[in-house]
Chains A and B, each alone.
Chain A
Amino acid sequence: MKYLMFVTTDKDHTEADAAAAPDIEEWVAYVTGAGKHVIGDRLRPSADATTVRVRGGELLVTDGPFAEVSEWIAGFDVLECADLDEAIEIASKHPMAYTGRLELRPFWPLDG
């Protein structure tokens, strides 16, 4: 099973949580070593984002989005796991599990 893991910020955590968070290098070494990591990276903030739409046959390109949000997507990883429990285990060792929030979205293949 493939999962897209959104890495999002979350203000709701303590300094003790932040202190307990493992290093991201450790996590990357762990998932890569386990053969569970397909791809992943940080993402630039929404100030650097571009929104694309086609409406009425016209291409609309805009800066942003700039919704007032307190939580935003800071990165992503694609995990290849046997099942959800394995993905949860991997997510639970990510530093942002301590100071942010991880959302696991299963892939929905077009032929599935």
Chain B
Amino acid sequence: MTDARGAVADVVAAERLRIVAALIRVTGDFDLAEDCVQDAVERALERWPADGVPDNPGAWLTTTARRRAVDTLRRRQTERTKLQEAQALAELARDLTGDDPGPYGDDRLKLLFTCCHPALPMAGRVALTLKSVAGLSTRQIARAFLVSEATMGQRLLRTKNKIEHAGIGFRVPEPHRLAERTAAVLAVVYLIFTEGYAATEGEPFRDDLAAEAVQLAGLVVQLLPGDDEALGLHALLLLQHARRAARTDAGELVSLEDQDRGRWDRDRVDAGLAALAAARSTGRPPGYYRLQAEIAALHATAPDADATDWARIVIAYDALLALRPSPVIALNRAVAVAFRDGPAAGLALVDELGDELADYPPLPAVRADLLRRAGRRSEAAAAYRAAIAVARTDAERRLLERRLRDVTTQS
């Protein structure tokens, strides 16, 4: 009984995406594809405990989902004949996912490029990728993005409608567009991760997003082998996610330099370092994600904050800034400079950024920390008060309040 349930879970993990992607390619209908696979899974849960697990569970699930799709389309055909449905029926008569079409023929890759098409609104790309590629329910995605299920359902519907109405094709982009379209896919995965990474205790659904993003990055690596930026992103997410357990202590946020590094997930760190090594071995100049992974790797391999190679981190930030000038990256670089050369050097850089980042909530918090480390306690206290006023989460606010107490009560 439990074996059969376990077998269903295994085959869903291994085959769901492949079957959904093939059905979307053939029918052009996201809902139909997902419903048919869901139906096949339910049937497996009914039948396998009694009949035993079939010899080839993946083939069983594919066939069952395909038959379901045929039935649904036939029923629709009697209502209204559509050319596309007739073609889909003919296609469904063949083996759906059997032959190996090579990387660019993989339906999963086509689905990923379709869900992350730049003509779709970003929020829609994120939602549809989580729904169709990662296999999350509308309810799960709604909870993760703190909106109602109805709102998320509408967002998914509008996104699928745009794909149909605007004629977004289910395919891999032309070779000369592949790099920029891959960057668009990676941007969606990265956004999902940062959305989850920002989550704090008491928000388990948001927290799950980070794990989903790590999985998705691994999938992109698998589907686009040898893509250095996909490897770089996978490395970055593994290395950041490795710190997950150490980022909080009894519900309170712990900053990187104070984290108990013994609680970092060594397996994830090792996997991240391996992905980074693979990205480097492509011989291509380091890109946006690989440079960030290099920084994360320098943190991951340092025994503590003081022993961190801040000089190399500053060099990596310089390269990042040259690639994509951004005041946010400049702020992170200023922190690294402060660790390398002392807080005064960092403060000078932060003050230069003041105008550009006037509305960026982490700016006063960064300033406050640097002032505290420089021993300028009354200025630090003022900066902490400013940071508390714009803190984005309760946990962040509590961390800042603890720091404020430190600088106002210490003798």
* Chain A residues packing against B (C-beta within 8 Å): 1, 3, 81-89, 104, 106, 108
- Pairs of residues from A and B, 7 with the lowest C-beta to C-beta distance, nearest first: A83-B169, A1-B167, A84-B167, A83-B167, A84-B168, A84-B166, A106-B166
Interface size class of B (residues with CB under 8 A): 10 to 19
Shortest Cβ gap from B179 to chain A (Å): 15
- Chain B residue nearest to A1 in the complex (CB): B167
Contact between B167 and A81, CB atoms less than 8 A apart? yes
Contact between A85 and B171, CB atoms less than 8 A apart? yes
Chain A residues near B165 (CB-CB < 8 A): 106, 108
CA distance A104 to B173 in the complex (A): 18
* Chain B residues packing against A (C-beta within 8 Å): 117, 119, 165-169, 171, 173-174, 177
Contact between B167 and A89, CB atoms less than 8 A apart? no
Chain B residues near A1 (CB-CB < 8 A): 167
Shortest Cβ gap from B114 to chain A (Å): 10
CA distance A84 to B177 in the complex (A): 14
Shortest Cβ gap from A112 to chain B (Å): 9
CA distance A89 to B117 in the complex (A): 14
Contact between A82 and B166, CB atoms less than 8 A apart? no
Mind listing 16 A-B residue pairs with CB under 8 Å? Answer: A81-B167, A82-B169, A83-B167, A83-B168, A83-B171, A84-B117, A84-B119, A84-B167, A84-B168, A85-B173, A87-B167, A88-B119, A89-B174, A106-B165, A106-B166, A106-B167
CA distance A87 to B117 in the complex (A): 14
- Chain B residue nearest to A89 in the complex (CB): B174
Chain B residues near A106 (CB-CB < 8 A): 165-167
Chain A residues near B167 (CB-CB < 8 A): 1, 3, 81, 83-84, 87, 106
Chain A residues near B174 (CB-CB < 8 A): 85, 89
CA distance A86 to B174 in the complex (A): 9
- Chain B residue nearest to A92 in the complex (CB): B177
CA distance A108 to B161 in the complex (A): 13
CA distance A1 to B166 in the complex (A): 9
Chain B residues near A87 (CB-CB < 8 A): 167
Shortest Cβ gap from B128 to chain A (Å): 16
- Chain B residue nearest to A82 in the complex (CB): B169
CA distance A60 to B136 in the complex (A): 55
CA distance A93 to B171 in the complex (A): 21
